[in-house]
Amino acid sequence: MRRDHRTRIARHGAVLLAVLLVALTAAPAGADADPYRDEAARAVRAHEAARTRVDRLRHDEAAHPEQVRDAERRRKAIRSELWDMLWAAGRRGGDPVAVDPSGRAGNCRIGTPQSPSGLDRDATWRAPTRGYRLSASYAARGRHWPHRHTGQDFAVPAGTPVYAVGPGTVRASTCGDGFGNQVVVRHRDGYFTHYAHLARIFVRKGQRVSAGQRVGLAGATGNVTGPHLHFEVRITPYFGSAVPPLTWLRRKEVQVEGAMVR
């Protein structure tokens, strides 16, 4: 961790600890009424607005290069602040992605990396599983979550293969908390995808993956009512930075079809 961030981490880590302690022991949930949840949610919205501005400027022939650089610096500064806040809170709250990304401390059962079954070598981006029914959607309310839902659920039978949606590097391959067995992949655009409640994990921290490469099998580990894949897209590797996953996939020209529960 960079030295000039330590003071900021200490300041924000304490207030976000309460958020993560509640969220990580319950069903996956997102920001809602809690003022500290609102702080993280505001940072997420600010980042997405900054990203939209960067994209617009890059496609504007009249934009000066310095405008693009300034906008990108702002976006990265917002993400850095959010990253530090959530990392500190995750460490204190026991988020395994923050404290045990390799899964060693938790003795997570991570299988030997296998041949990339299901890999579509012509695909750049794809859906995270097949033969699914969309169930709980991003920001859904319901009795299963004390706050809003932070991802998109894909209802599939236990043992259904789960695939990396795009090329990237495994940031975490771990277990524990309400998400059970989980994998986090960092992609080239700086976003992270999160695959949770897995029955088995087939990738390890630091491993490179391709679009369609199998990262695990869907299951019912963690806090669930039945087998499914919980899929998130995050600005950082940590809980509290999720963005609408289907919107993000559409930007990658991936269409996910099916009725959703709200």
How far is residue 222 from each of residues 19, 26, 176, 228, measured CA to CA in Å? 19, 9, 7, 11
Query: Which residues lie closer than 8 Å to 221 by C-beta, 6 or more apart?
Result: 175, 180, 181, 197, 198, 199
215 pLDDT above the threshold of 90: yes
Give the pLDDT confidence of 151-188 residue by residue, as tens digits.
Answer: 999 999 999 999 999 999 999 999 999 999 999 999 99
143 pLDDT above the threshold of 50: yes
Torsion of the alpha carbons at 242, 228, 163 and 80, rounded to the nearest 10:
10
141 pLDDT above the threshold of 90: no
Among 60, 68, 87, 72, smallest CA distance to 2 is for 87
Compute CA 96 distance to the chain's CA centroid, rounded to the nearest angstrom: 13
> What confidence category does residue 25 fall into, taking pLDDT thresholds of 50, 70 and 90?
very low
The percent of residues above 90 in pLDDT, for the chain, comes to 67
| Predicted model pTM | 0.83
89 pLDDT above the threshold of 80: yes
Write out the DSSP string of 78-145.
HHHHHHHHHHHHHHHHT-HHHH-TTSTTTT--BPPP---TT--TT-SS--S-SS-EE-BPTT---TT-
Of 47-56, 114-123, 130-139, the range with the highest mean pLDDT is: 47-56
Torsion of the alpha carbons at 113, 117, 118 and 123, rounded to the nearest 10:
60
Torsion of the alpha carbons at 15, 21, 22 and 24, rounded to the nearest 10:
130
Residue 199 CB coordination number (10 Å): 18
Q: Are strands 168-174 and 208-209 parallel, antiparallel or unpaired?
A: antiparallel
Give the pLDDT confidence of 29-58 residue by residue, as tens digits.
Answer: 333 335 567 889 999 999 999 999 999 999
Q: What is the pLDDT of residue 66?
A: 95
Q: What is the pLDDT of residue 118?
A: 54
Higher pLDDT among residues 60 and 262, named by residue: 60
Token pair, residue 171, equals 């940031």
> Of the given ranges (12-21, 53-62, 236-245), which has the lowest mean pLDDT?
12-21
- In total, the chain counts a number of residues equal to 262
Angle between helix 6-23 and 65-93 (nearest 10): 60
As a whole number, mean pLDDT of residues 105-121 equals 73
User: Residue 248 carries which side chain, given as an amino acid letter?
Assistant: W
